[in-house]
Structure 1
Amino acid sequence: MPSVLVPLANGSEELEAVSLVNVLRRCGVDVTLASVEGDTLGGAPIVKGSRGTRVVCDGTLAEADRVSWDAIALAGGLPGAQTLSDTPELISRLKEQSAAGKWIGAICASPPVVLAAHGLLPPTATWYPSVGDTLGDTKRGTTRVVIDEGARVVTSQGPATAIEFGLAVAGAVGVDPKVVSSVREQLLVDL
């Protein structure tokens, strides 16, 4: 079963996070939702999303001790993406993921705020339009989801593209295309 780590911080875009996790789990992916911050509710790590919705995580990033993940996928939102970018343990894991040729996913503010800030944004990518059209050598793609096979990075634009992003990450980590297609149909996604 493929595995995906989804780190979250206070201020992460909860619509993107929950949509991503939901789609991946529907596709049979083992998803671990990990808080990079220390807030808890009844002992469980919790983050407060960018729109105020509280999300209970499976554990903390420090507790997510799996040796390797098929992908690490980041929700966007501010200030959550900035907190993710400022978390040394996460950045170390993302760089190890990239060096190992494993997948990274980022949506909305996370491609520019996290990936570009740490030299992980590939030449082919997209992100939330208000950030700008160009970051370094990368021109923002205009499609809703961009998959850079060479860099093994999936990027997407924002909340309205989160389900498509989840389907793309599922496909990238090796979920059978028939399963991805079935989930797409169940969710009434018209691609």
Structure 2
Amino acid sequence: MRVLVPLAQGCEELEAVTIIDLLRRAEIEVVTAGLTEGPVKASRDTVLLPDTTLEAVADQDFDMVVLPGGLPGAQYLEDDPRVLDILRRHAERGAYTAAICAAPKVLASAGLLDDKRATCYPGCVKPEDFPRLNLIDAAVAIDGRVITGRGPGAAMDFALALIESLAGRERRESVESALIRSH
């Protein structure tokens, strides 16, 4: 299983790192790809070093494409035609697409949230701009092969939902139990 995580300047590092870390704990191959070459400075000035560039992996196939949120990171993802093309191509071939926080707007702009239930950071997606989207108030929303998360506080639940979708409930439970989360 391979997952692509595009990283844009100004992404939300809590979301990006949580997604990458938990998927790797689940022994899922994660490829982080910067929109440009070099380090990515996240929204709280944490510097992330992508594995590669988006250009280098744009034509490759992945089982899932996951977009971290944060601003202006999510806006840079939405403004990049390569990201929209990758999302559409993967959705067409039945791969998962996922986004958290402000990034579900990128999925909506790509047309992937039409007639879907989704969640996002409050105010990031305006229902009047996407009338076919069923926006719900939940930490994580799963509708078919589209997974969305509400925001930084939901990052761990979101990442665990990604694991379960890709590798099954047992793998999710194995990763989650080692995290020693209290409920």
Using structure 1 for the length normalisation, give the TM-score. 0.88
What are the equivalent positions in structure 2 for 1:1-191 lying under 5 Å apart?
2-38=1-37, 40=38, 46-64=39-57, 67-112=60-105, 114-122=106-114, 123-131=116-124, 134=127, 135-149=130-144, 152-173=145-166, 175-190=167-182
Give the deviation of 1:121 after TM superposition.
Answer: 1.6
Aligned-partner SS, 2:70 = coil
CA distance in 2, matches of 1:169, 1:182: 14
CA distance in 2, matches of 1:84, 1:133: 18
Q: Is the 8 A contact 1:108 1:127 kept in 2?
A: yes
Using structure 2 for the length normalisation, give the TM-score. 0.92
CA distance in 1, matches of 2:84, 2:109: 10
Paired-residue identity, % = 39
Aligned-partner SS, 2:123 = helix
Give the deviation of 1:132 after TM superposition.
Answer: 5.6
Q: Is the 8 A contact 2:104 2:125 kept in 1?
A: no
Structure 1's consecutive aligned runs of 4 or more residues displaced over 4 angstroms after TM superposition are none
In structure 1, the gaps of 5 or more residues are: 41-45
Aligned-partner SS, 1:63 = helix
What RMSD, in angstroms, separates the aligned Cα atoms of the two structures?
1.6
Q: Is the 8 A contact 1:133 1:139 kept in 2?
A: no
Give the deviation of 1:176 after TM superposition.
Answer: 3.5
